[in-house]
Chain A
Amino acid sequence: MTSAASSVRILLADDHTLFSDGLALQLAQADPAMTVVGQVFRGADVLPAVQAHTPHVVLLDINLPAPTGIECLRQLSDTYPAVKTIMLTMYAYKRFVDECRGAGAAAYLLKHVQISTMIDTIRRVLIGERIFPTSPTVDLHAADSFVVRFKLTPTELKVIRLMRQGLNTQQIGDQLFVSFETVKSHRKNIYRKLTITHLSDLIAFAHEHGL
């Protein structure tokens, strides 16, 4: 492994040539320690290039053509776990962030960040930090087992309880301050989610789960 003071070997993987060139130039200008050892433009070329150039860090675009950046990341994590992979992308989707985190990326960076931020991130991942723009998804509803297990919403649970109490559609509507049709919609959705067709099945479900 290298120390912070010595040269950092970097591999750029981005299908946008102009961007890749610009980035290489910027990195070299901003910090002489940054050495771009190679540039690849297709997913398929990433692994061979890592083999050939032995970089410390791979700046990997998510949007690479076949295989995609995330697939490349998985291969890299499996084959070269010591190589730090920094995902570089235009998309800030939480789903992507979470996916990359799970696949073993060292960091997730948006392409439009300042070059100084980029260098800072490179330095920090080299000392073992993992840097992501958002914290891991803490599912606010994770505690609610019905959401997780059956995708049932709080309103739907209320509807099930009221149905179990023997209220008819109109009465349920009155209780929940919604229209007859909306209650029917909820009921239809509940049946769909539980893949049941009869009220008896619903009562059985409610009974089983203490609703």
Chain B
Amino acid sequence: MMSQLFLLIPTGRWLLLGLLLGLTAASGWAQPCPLQLDSLSSGTYPSDCLLTFADSTGQLTPRQLDLSQFKPVGTTQPNFGTDGLTHWLTFTCQNAAKQAHQFVLEVDIVYADEMSFYVLDGQRISYQIEHDSWHVPLWKRSIPSRYFAFPLNLTPGQTVRVLLRAQEEGGTLITPIHIWERSAYELYYSTETNILILPAIILLFLTVVGLGVFIVSRNLIWLFYAVHAFGTAVYNLNIEGVLAHYLPDPFNTIKGYALGVSLSYMANLLFTQQYVYKRLPKPIGWLRWATYGLIGVQATWFLYLLVMPFQDHTADVALLITGITAAFMLMYLLTCLAKGSDEARIYLLAIAPFLLIVLVRVLDSAGILETQDWHYYLRYYAPLFEIIVLGIGATRQLIHEREATLIQLGNTQKEVILTQETERRRIAQDLHDDVGTSLLALRGKLPPASEEAYELINQIIANVRTVSHNLMPDELTMLGLGGALAETAERLGAASGIRFLFVSAGEVIPLPQVKELAIYRAVLELMHNVVRHSGATEAVVQLVYHPDGLNIMVEDNGHGFGNHKADSASGIGLKNVASRTEWLGGRMAIDTSVRGTTIRLDVPYT
């Protein structure tokens, strides 16, 4: 994000930054013209020879030029502003080497409307490329480069005049000129491309991931994250000419550098609101409104860029808005950090490489440190690093939130069940003891001869008992888990003819009543399954209290589930058992064969 303050600068030139920091890019020393070209591996050369001339007619040919009208510019990065005129540049150079050399004249810019290149050997035009622009496909260029690059092949000792014609109507015309040995240029160009492509691909990948997570989680933070990554990727690809050269009309002409920055800033501010602001222990009103204000400014600017053509002030305003937003972000984060925000700490870590770039630039301008190549390449990797770290931070937050929600959900569920069971027990108790007994009393008061009334009241008494028992098995409260199961085993055994053995071993550890109820209901279900579906003659139900948990086993010697377990009633019953066991935080396992079925439940005490 902040790093885009730098990234607004035309690629690798640091020009606007130079202006911003009050630096001058020019550093020349007197050297006689023509330029002595020898071993040029770094692309730099002294500026003294470069002359320019503005052609207000726009019609002049190289032969019609009057060299006396050319003026020295004193820099290798002439900035002609937005006058829309045709500008000529010229210098003379000599191959100082003893053998023929291939050089490359590179104008490191993507967006000029067009350029033409002429090499004059004496009065003869020995080489020319006319109307070169990004409309010319890369494979049709003499040097397949996204930047303007022209071959300059010189024989030993040959002296030539180079003429360059440049035109830009919709923006600022800057012509940063470098001269390379051809092999050095090719190495530079491929290195530049590789170093650019990797972060751009990763950013696009993160965009897709962010969108995916957004679709799955419905959490807006991921949409903002994706747009942030996308905006940065668009910016990177645009400033290096990838969009212009590879995208179809009209996408190749978008002002991706400015739109991308603005878009990623908007998304980033929104992201920050979600990521940092939402987690602040106490909201900071002004910060919130200032953020929305800035988002409004960025949005307006974005629409303006989209609709309006490039104007004189566009770059300045872009720089101003970017600078303000970046400074605001830093202040925002520091404010939140002061409030103890963990997210702000992670965020600051994320922009650490960017801050490093700033530091290097400051040290460089103060003459303490010299800018290295990796400082320069860091401009792609700083935002990438930022976006990756923020992605990790947001993922971490998402996971934490999920966990918290689950824990809370679990607690709420437990509370609900607890309340429900307590209430049920109370109602059951009231029904059984009060209503039931009162009904018995009422029956006592009936006149002796009312047979029908007796029958009816007996029916009511029986119903009340059933309802009360369903609500809360009174044997559990009266006898405890083991006692109630023993009772049930006895009863079911007598009723079904199955030899039920109930065993309780180990030192009994009483569980909270809701848990005992859940276990009781689960085991009851299993026992009923044995009776209804197993065809067994013998069954064992046992509780073994271990120090680390309760083991429950229900074994029978029946015919097993066979292959119709999923859709049978016992299947539904087992699902109930499984969900109860899960609620208890326990595990359930089923072994079934033609020799019988063993169901194990392992339930923790806490």
Which A residues lie at the B interface, using CB under 8 A? 16, 18-23, 25-26, 29-30, 63, 90-91, 93-95, 111-112, 114-115, 137, 140-141, 147, 151, 153-155, 176-179, 181-182, 185-186, 188-189, 192-193
Taken together as a complex, chains A and B put the C-alpha atoms of A185 and B479 apart, in Å, by 27
Residue of chain A at shortest CB distance from B448? A29
Residue of chain B at shortest CB distance from A21? B441
A181 lies within 8 A of B483 (CB): no
Q: Chain A residues near B594 (CB, 8 Å)?
A: 177
B506 lies within 8 A of A112 (CB): no
Q: Chain A residues near B602 (CB, 8 Å)?
A: 185
Question: Would you give the shortest CB distance from A160 to chain B, in whole angstroms?
Answer: 15
A140 lies within 8 A of B474 (CB): no
Taking residues whose C-beta sits less than 8 angstroms from the other chain, chain B's interface range is: 35 or more
Say whether B260 faces chain A, with CB atoms less than 8 Å apart: no
Taken together as a complex, chains A and B put the C-alpha atoms of A93 and B551 apart, in Å, by 25
- Say whether, besides A18-B438, A25-B444, A192-B506, A182 and B591 are in contact (CB < 8 Å): yes
A189 lies within 8 A of B553 (CB): yes
B591 lies within 8 A of A153 (CB): no
Q: Chain A residues near B553 (CB, 8 Å)?
A: 185-186, 189
Residue of chain B at shortest CB distance from A17? B441
Q: Chain A residues near B493 (CB, 8 Å)?
A: 140
Which B residues lie at the A interface, using CB under 8 A? 432-433, 436-438, 440-445, 448, 454, 458, 461-462, 465, 474-475, 478-479, 483, 486-487, 490-491, 493, 499, 501, 503-506, 538, 540, 542, 544-546, 551, 553, 555, 589, 591, 593-596, 598, 600, 602
A90 lies within 8 A of B432 (CB): yes
Question: Would you give the shortest CB distance from B427 to chain A, in whole angstroms?
Answer: 16
B442 lies within 8 A of A22 (CB): yes
Main secondary structure of the interface of A (DSSP, over half): helix
Question: Would you give the shortest CB distance from B378 to chain A, in whole angstroms?
Answer: 56
Q: A93-B479, A112-B458 are in contact. List 18 more A-B contacts (CB 8 A).
A: A19-B440, A19-B444, A21-B441, A22-B441, A22-B442, A22-B445, A94-B487, A95-B479, A112-B461, A114-B458, A140-B499, A153-B503, A155-B555, A155-B598, A177-B591, A177-B596, A192-B544, A193-B505
Taken together as a complex, chains A and B put the C-alpha atoms of A192 and B544 apart, in Å, by 8
Interchain Cβ contacts under 8 Å between A and B, 13 examples? A90-B433, A140-B493, A141-B499, A151-B504, A153-B501, A177-B595, A177-B596, A179-B591, A185-B553, A185-B602, A186-B553, A189-B542, A192-B506
Taken together as a complex, chains A and B put the C-alpha atoms of A182 and B546 apart, in Å, by 15
Residue of chain B at shortest CB distance from A180? B591
Of B437, B442, B479, B486, the contact of A111 (CB 8 Å cutoff): B437
Residue of chain B at shortest CB distance from A91? B478
Question: Would you give the shortest CB distance from A98 to chain B, in whole angstroms?
Answer: 10
Residue of chain A at shortest CB distance from B602? A185
Taken together as a complex, chains A and B put the C-alpha atoms of A94 and B486 apart, in Å, by 9
Taken together as a complex, chains A and B put the C-alpha atoms of A155 and B544 apart, in Å, by 14
A-B CB contacts (within 8 Å), total count? 123
Q: Chain A residues near B487 (CB, 8 Å)?
A: 93-95
- Say whether, besides A155-B555, A193-B544, A22 and B443 are in contact (CB < 8 Å): yes
Question: Would you give the shortest CB distance from A116 to chain B, in whole angstroms?
Answer: 11
Q: Chain B residues near A177 (CB, 8 Å)?
A: 591, 593-596
Taken together as a complex, chains A and B put the C-alpha atoms of A18 and B436 apart, in Å, by 11
- Say whether, besides A90-B432, A147-B501, A178-B598, A189 and B544 are in contact (CB < 8 Å): yes
Taken together as a complex, chains A and B put the C-alpha atoms of A87 and B524 apart, in Å, by 28
Q: Chain A residues near B486 (CB, 8 Å)?
A: 95
A19 lies within 8 A of B441 (CB): yes
- Say whether, besides A29-B448, A95-B479, A95-B486, A153 and B589 are in contact (CB < 8 Å): no
- Say whether, besides A93-B487, A178-B598, A179-B589, A115 and B478 are in contact (CB < 8 Å): no
Question: Would you give the shortest CB distance from B28 to chain A, in whole angstroms?
Answer: 83
- Say whether, besides A153-B555, A177-B596, A193-B544, A90 and B505 are in contact (CB < 8 Å): no
Of B442, B474, B483, B591, the contact of A178 (CB 8 Å cutoff): B591
Question: Would you give the shortest CB distance from B441 to chain A, in whole angstroms?
Answer: 4
Taken together as a complex, chains A and B put the C-alpha atoms of A25 and B596 apart, in Å, by 56
Taken together as a complex, chains A and B put the C-alpha atoms of A114 and B503 apart, in Å, by 36
Taken together as a complex, chains A and B put the C-alpha atoms of A177 and B487 apart, in Å, by 29
Q: Chain A residues near B544 (CB, 8 Å)?
A: 188-189, 192-193
Taken together as a complex, chains A and B put the C-alpha atoms of A137 and B500 apart, in Å, by 13
Q: Chain A residues near B595 (CB, 8 Å)?
A: 176-177
Residue of chain A at shortest CB distance from B503? A151
Question: Would you give the shortest CB distance from A170 to chain B, in whole angstroms?
Answer: 13
Q: Chain B residues near A91 (CB, 8 Å)?
A: 474-475, 478
Q: Chain B residues near A21 (CB, 8 Å)?
A: 441, 444
B542 lies within 8 A of A185 (CB): no
Counting chain B CB atoms within 10 Å of each CB, the highest count among A19, A63, A137 belongs to A19
Residue of chain A at shortest CB distance from B443? A22
- Please provide the 5 A-B residue pairs with the shortest distance between their CB atoms, ordered closest to farther: A22-B444, A22-B441, A177-B593, A18-B441, A26-B444
Taken together as a complex, chains A and B put the C-alpha atoms of A181 and B551 apart, in Å, by 12
Taken together as a complex, chains A and B put the C-alpha atoms of A77 and B305 apart, in Å, by 103
B542 lies within 8 A of A16 (CB): no
B501 lies within 8 A of A141 (CB): yes
Taken together as a complex, chains A and B put the C-alpha atoms of A25 and B487 apart, in Å, by 34
A153 lies within 8 A of B441 (CB): no
B437 lies within 8 A of A90 (CB): yes
Q: Chain A residues near B458 (CB, 8 Å)?
A: 112, 114
Of B444, B491, B499, B555, the contact of A23 (CB 8 Å cutoff): B444
Of A90, A179, A182, A192, the contact of B436 (CB 8 Å cutoff): A90
Taken together as a complex, chains A and B put the C-alpha atoms of A115 and B443 apart, in Å, by 10
Residue of chain A at shortest CB distance from B589? A181
Q: Chain B residues near A151 (CB, 8 Å)?
A: 503-505, 542
Question: Would you give the shortest CB distance from B7 to chain A, in whole angstroms?
Answer: 59
B540 lies within 8 A of A153 (CB): yes
B540 lies within 8 A of A155 (CB): yes
Residue of chain A at shortest CB distance from B490? A94
Taken together as a complex, chains A and B put the C-alpha atoms of A16 and B505 apart, in Å, by 38
B444 lies within 8 A of A182 (CB): no
Q: Chain B residues near A182 (CB, 8 Å)?
A: 589, 591, 598, 600
B437 lies within 8 A of A18 (CB): yes
